[in-house]
Amino acid sequence: MEELKKLFQQYTGKLPETIIPFSGSGSNRKYFRLSTPEISLIGVEGVSVEENKAFIELSNHFYKQGLPVPQVFAKSENSLFYLQEDLGNISLFDVISEGRKTGIFSEEEKKLLKQTIAALPEIQFKGAEGLDFSICYPQPEFDKRTVFWDLNYFKYYFLKMSNVDFQENLLENDFEKFANILLQEQTGTFLYRDFQSRNVMIHNGKPYFIDFQGGRKGPVYYDVASFLWQAKANFPDELRNELLDVYLKTLSKYQPHTDSVKFKKQLRYFVLFRILQVLGAYGFRGYIEKKSHFLESIPFALNNLNELLQEDFPEIPYLQRLLVELSSVFLPLPPPKGDRLTLAITIYSFSYKKGIPEDISGNGGGYVFDCRAIHNPGKYEEYKNLTGLDRPVIDFLEKDGEILTFLDEIYKLADKHIERYIERGFTNLMFSFGCTGGQHRSVYSAQHLGEHIMRNYKLNVTVIHREQGIYFDMTKNPKQILPLQKFS
């Protein structure tokens, strides 16, 4: 932290007045927003000098090529710390949230998606012009070794966890064939590696691109697959095909004679490869690291896999057979349990200054969880008038990450308790979350426990935010804010 303060002062001539931490999804790097009233910068503390150097060098090169990426302004002598342009808080993933939930994308959402996919060939071709790929980390090129890293990631962290029996020698034979198919076209283009909507920031109404430090030389198909088949993007086939046509049109500026039929055939193999890589990552984060929010992403990836398997992959028949079996027997999340007539759940958020809520059912109060050890958004001026229902506070808490770990443990405890209550025929259960003001951390926690229970059980769930005087009847309309005086 002191190193970032020093860099900020060296670059701006002033010490930062506010420092707000947040984290990158799935990353060991630490991110901070350092600001004065006049300027805001993103400070990064990395754990790998080589990875930091890759990002800094790539960012500088792309910026000189006129690509929309954050400019790096300063770095420490050891390259473990650097300052980059602040592109704000709004990602493309956030902007398309309604489309992701409903599968119906607005014209504004489609416009930004098309702008993003149209920029991809620019990054792949212009980004590669004059680039020294030796700076890339951990590999300068997409090769057989990197293919097998990802295939084995899937094998060990997802397939073996699924209890599907398989012959490893036959699977490895198909892995070898699969790798040869993926590597049959060698190109000098830049492979972004993690080109997806979470890594696209919407700044001044336009897409900007971040988190490309894992990029390397490689085929163009990989990034197209990553974007169009992102697990939680929930693109319908019609929109996905529309976006692919936009990509191919822009690609024609760099490859005028691209055969679209041949392109789409090869793309299917990269889509399959990317889905397997993602399932391996979700398996590791979910089953090994016990992070439930990664497990909740698995059904989306499996849906993509099921759709893809509607057509054969004749060159890799054993792998295809395993995947068909996997998609038919593997249930990453249980179907909803319980009966709405048997158990009512009431969840409170509250301020400890005003006391713990009373249990109106007369059963004595249930669980009370103290959120005050979690980093408090209320300490920062920009969040003081917001609550845990507001997007800026949600982003702050989720990017910091403490509250996700906190809730992961509570979800497990709540699930066991709910199932026991259902078995015993009890009619009421109460959970309460308290923090200093009952405004940020407790509100976020209560709302998300309610959503978790609704995803997994058929129960009556009411979430009451006592200090705001509002409640949500999650069973009838989980988004409708109701005045608390009408609650009974």
What tens digit of pLDDT does each residue of 225-236 get?
A: 999 999 888 898
| Final residue before a domain boundary, out of 329, 353, 382 | 329
10 Å CB burial of residue 124 (0-12, 13-18, 19+) is buried
Q: Are 88 and 62 in contact (CB under 8 A)?
A: no
Higher-confidence position of 380 and 488: 380
Q: Is the peptide bond before 299 cis (omega within 30 degrees of 0)?
A: no
Least confident residue range of 207-216, 241-250, 252-261, 334-343: 334-343
Strand positions, DSSP E, 323-426:
344-351, 367-370
Asked whether residue 234 falls in the same domain as residue 167, the answer is yes
- Residue type, position 434, single letter: G
pTM confidence score: 0.69
- Taking 60 as the threshold, does the pLDDT of residue 320 lie above it? yes
Nearest alpha-carbon partner for 36 in 381, 464, 416, 475? 381
State which residues form the domain around 430: 344-486
Report percent pLDDT > 70 for the chain: 91
Based on the structure, what is the number of domains in the chain? 3
> Would 310 be classed as within a structural domain?
yes
Nearest alpha-carbon partner for 452 in 293, 326, 240? 293
Q: What angle do CA 107, 392, 466 make, to 5 degrees?
A: 115
Asked whether residue 274 falls in the same domain as residue 378, the answer is no
Sign of CA dihedral 85, 87, 88, 93: negative
At 25, the pLDDT band (50, 70, 90 cuts) reads low
Asked whether residue 8 falls in the same domain as residue 30, the answer is yes
10 Å CB burial of residue 370 (0-12, 13-18, 19+) is middle
Asked whether residue 97 falls in the same domain as residue 236, the answer is yes
- Taking 80 as the threshold, does the pLDDT of residue 156 lie above it? yes
Nearest alpha-carbon partner for 55 in 33, 84, 96? 84
Q: What share of the chain is helix, strand, coil (3-state, %, to 5)?
A: 50, 15, 35
Measured CA to CA, the distance from residue 35 to residue 26 in angstroms comes to 25
Asked whether residue 384 falls in the same domain as residue 434, the answer is yes
Helix residue ranges, H only, 22-96: 49-64, 92-95
| Final residue before a domain boundary, out of 85, 112, 133 | 85
Asked whether residue 177 falls in the same domain as residue 269, the answer is yes
Q: Are 105 and 71 in contact (CB under 8 A)?
A: no
- Residue type, position 395, single letter: D
Name residue, tokens 């090994």.
288
Least confident residue range of 59-68, 115-124, 423-432: 423-432
Given this model, what pLDDT does residue 332 score?
A: 43
Q: Are strands 40-45 and 81-85 parallel, antiparallel or unpaired?
A: antiparallel
- Taking 50 as the threshold, does the pLDDT of residue 335 lie above it? no
Asked whether residue 287 falls in the same domain as residue 376, the answer is no
Measured CA to CA, the distance from residue 296 to residue 287 in angstroms comes to 11
Asked whether residue 61 falls in the same domain as residue 182, the answer is no
Mean pLDDT along residues 364-383: 90
Given this model, what pLDDT does residue 331 score?
A: 46
